[in-house]
């Protein structure tokens, strides 16, 4: 029986699309749905191209997680992948899916993590700190931002001349290259 994954995303969905491509026609894993809190998120159009159903819910529905848990149960979802999802995951979901919710952070945790540290905020902070490297951290989600068990990290070298945008581009390449493969290894253990 295939492992079933739901993707949670709030933005353009470039990481989500890497999952759609990676698991398309996969013998053991399938992406069964996308959840978003943003009715104009690019991930919706990307999911449609792959014939993956999506659900749009506002912040109120995310507060307890009850409605989301019911839908995930109906869809028989085994794992959740956060791909640029901008809301804290409700405790009920974290408890139900303990060590089965994946997130990727665009820095080498524990540096540059925590509330407010996402997207360009992270890359600007890395630049301001004069770091010689950055990278990605794939981790399980727990009740605190960026504090779950680390599964995988990979770094990239930075030069003092790199802008925050150039740092972001280097890190995004690592995200696309590694995130689906690392999740695949974990769910097939």
Taken in order of first residue, the domains within the chain and their CATH numbers are 1-97 (3.40.50.170), 104-177 (3.40.50.170)
Does the annotation place 103 within a ligand binding site?
A: yes
Which residues sit opposite 5 in a β-bridge?
31, 79
Active site residue 105: yes
pLDDT of residue 64: 73
**Number of other CB atoms surrounding residue 15 within 10 Å:** 21
Single out the catalytic residue among 105, 123, 139, 176. Answer: 105
Average pLDDT of each block of 10 consecutive residues along the chain (189 residues)?
Answer: 96 97 98 96 98 90 84 98 90 95 97 92 97 98 92 98 98 98 97
pTM listed for this prediction? 0.96
d(CA 63, CA 31): 24
Does the annotation place 178 within a ligand binding site?
A: no
Phi, psi of 78 (to 5 degrees): -90, -35
Residue 112 burial (CB < 10 Å; 0-12/13-18/19+)?
A: buried
d(CA 29, CA 164): 35
pLDDT of residue 66: 87
Please report which helix (H) or strand (E) contains residue 105, including its range: strand 101-105
d(CA 35, CA 18): 16
pLDDT of residue 154: 98
């Amino acid at each position: 029986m295939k492992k079933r994954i739901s993707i949670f995303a709030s933005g353009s969905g470039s990481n989500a699309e890497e999952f759609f491509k990676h698991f398309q026609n996969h013998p053991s894993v399938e992406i069964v749905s996308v959840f978003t809190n943003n009715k104009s998120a690019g991930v919706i159009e990307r999911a449609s191209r792959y014939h993956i159903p999506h659900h749009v819910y506002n912040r109120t529905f995310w507060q307890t997680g009850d409605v989301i848990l019911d839908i995930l149960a109906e869809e028989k979802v085994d794992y959740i992948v956060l791909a640029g999802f901008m809301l804290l995951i409700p405790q009920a979901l974290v408890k139900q899916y303990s060590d089965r919710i994946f997130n990727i952070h665009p820095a080498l945790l524990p540096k540059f993590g925590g509330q407010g540290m996402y997207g360009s905020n992270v890359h600007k902070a890395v630049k301001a700190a004069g770091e010689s490297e950055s990278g990605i951290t794939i981790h399980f989600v727990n009740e605190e931002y960026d504090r779950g068990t680390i599964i995988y990290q990979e770094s990239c070298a930075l030069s003092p001349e790199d802008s925050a945008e150039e740092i972001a581009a280097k890190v995004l390449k690592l995200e696309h290259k590694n995130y689906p493969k690392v999740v695949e290894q974990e769910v097939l253990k």
